[in-house]
Amino acid sequence: MSQDNPHVVVITNPAAGGDPLGLAQTALERGVRAAAKVEVRHTEHPGQAEEIAAELAGGGSGTMPDLVIAVGGDGTARDVAAGLYRAGAERSRPVPALLVAPGGTGNSSYLGIWQDRPWTEVLDRVLGDVGTEVRWLDLARVVETGRIVLLGAGSGLIAEALVTARDLPGRSGRDRYQRALHETVARWRPYPGRVTVDGEVLAEGGTLLVNIGGGRYRGGGYRLLPDSLLDDGLLDVCVCGDSASAAELAALAVDGRHVAHPAVRYGRGTLVAVERTDGAPLVFEHDGDLAAITVERFTVEVLAHSVPMVVPTPPPAGLSPSGRPS
């Protein structure tokens, strides 16, 4: 951040599964030390982070900030990115840059950009304008619901585990999802499906998992889309067929080796359709949230270069060597 006395707003989700309040306090202290004007806004209900971000980017709170920090999990990062995008698209105006903090349980969005760098180091680099830049990253949209996607979307095992997690008592965060995933693997069966990319069928038949997006990581560390880039204007797609077991693919996906498995089809495009071919409803999720409607087909379209994000210099493997600058 090259400007003097930058204006920073920290949007914090206190309900996130990590240490959002601690990370927000660190941002406040580091910001004051760097002579920045820092405000902290806490969310009180689901979706409020998107509302706050849209208000800030739209000028509803007065002067638009230079930087918005999303402190929470991947859902909070998605909400803030969606709010900035909607405000910019509706008003055809610049929006603040976004910095994602690791305040949740999975933190896949942070992992894809900052890897394992400590939060204090990232803050000092950003506030000191050392070794960082702003890149315009891709988002996506679920056509049937209008929902914005930051990290990824899909069906099959990941989505079914979210259904299982809703009914697990006494657990929270990553522990809850890992238990749900274990139980789902033991009982769930692949569904008859079809995945189409830009009008061409990528995969058809028994479907174990479909993942669509730009983020390389899901579930806090699984490299489901190991070749994807966050700023290439394309969606990567991974389809795992039923000729492999869920346990086998999960082990391989930790470091991306699953893409070489004969049961896996991997593609890239701008419009992806996922459907069940037996007429039954498709369980579909994005950014860890289940779709709110019941249909047998979902379509995801890319929103190329839609949100400005603060990233390290040189960029990580999940970004192109040279992207569209802010």
Structure tokens at 44: 């009180």
Give the mean pLDDT of 306-314: 95
Bigger pLDDT: 92 vs 209: 209
Q: How far apart are CA 112 and CA 236, in angstroms?
A: 15
The answer, yes or no, to whether residue 172 has pLDDT greater than 80, is no
pTM of the predicted structure, to 2 decimals: 0.91
Return the pLDDT at 326: 44
For residue 251, give the DSSP letter.
Answer: H
Which CATH code is given to the segment(s) 148-304?
A: 2.60.200.40
Of the pLDDT bands very low, low, confident and very high (cuts 50, 70, 90), residue 165 is: confident
Domain residue spans of the chain: 7-130, 148-304
Poorest-pLDDT segment among 88-92, 105-109, 118-122, 170-174? 170-174
Q: Which CATH number fits domain 7-130: 3.40.50.300, 3.90.1150.10, 3.40.50.10330, 1.25.40.10?
A: 3.40.50.10330
The answer, yes or no, to whether residue 324 has pLDDT greater than 60, is no
- Burial class of 103 by CB neighbour count within 10 A (0 to 12, 13 to 18, 19+): buried
pLDDT digits (tens, 9 = 90+) for 94-133: 899 999 999 987 788 999 999 989 999 999 999 998 999 9
Instruction: Please give the span between the terminal C-alpha atoms of the chain, in angstroms, as a whole number.
Output: 12
CB of 96 closer than 8 Å to CB of 60: no
